[in-house]
């Protein structure tokens, strides 16, 4: 039908048009790598070099009344015990009754209980003192007296 030009390189037959195509693609890649608009070897992150990072002690919650940041630690320090703030919360019985799989089946979900470790559809879960002690003891699998 038509003849193709082939070259023998190290005993391998190769078509000339494929070799030329590979050279064109290789040249294109080489030009983009070494002569790009980023300035040669310099990386392309120069657009952000004028931006400054936040100070080391920066806190987004400073001055914000409803900030969650460090609130549990402040509450614990103020009351002396982590569980003291949970005394007014009402929850289901612990351990769970037979057939019940949801730990917070009888708890209120409210933004007033934030910050909390657990959250629900209407805000943070208002965990009772008994539930928190039970969860902290890992359901009886942990006997240490610490918060953590």
Flag residues of the chain having pLDDT under 50. none
Beta-strand relationship, 123-125 and 109-110 = antiparallel
Residue with tokens 């002569």: 35
pLDDT at residue 27 in the model = 92
CA distance 72 to 75: 5
Question: For residue range 51-94, what is the model confidence (pLDDT) as tens digits?
Answer: 666 667 777 777 766 666 656 555 555 556 777 778 888 888 88
Non-local CB neighbours of 129 within 8 Å, separated by 6+ positions: 83, 86, 87, 89
**pLDDT over 70, % of the chain:** 68
pLDDT at residue 24 in the model = 96
């Amino acid at each position: 039908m038509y003849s193709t030009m082939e070259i023998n390189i190290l005993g391998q037959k190769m078509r000339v048009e494929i070799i030329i195509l590979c050279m064109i693609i290789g040249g294109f890649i080489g030009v983009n790598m070494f002569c790009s608009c980023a300035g040669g070897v310099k990386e392309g992150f120069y657009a952000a070099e004028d931006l400054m990072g936040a100070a080391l002690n920066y806190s987004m919650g400073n001055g914000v009344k409803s900030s969650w940041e460090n609130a549990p630690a402040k509450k614990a320090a103020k009351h002396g015990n982590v569980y003291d703030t949970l005394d007014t919360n009402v929850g289901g019985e612990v351990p769970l009754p037979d057939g019940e799989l949801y730990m917070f089946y009888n708890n209120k979900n409210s933004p007033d209980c934030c910050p909390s470790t657990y959250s629900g559809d209407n805000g943070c879960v208002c965990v009772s003192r008994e539930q928190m002690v039970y969860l902290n003891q890992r359901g009886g699998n942990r006997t240490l007296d610490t918060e953590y």
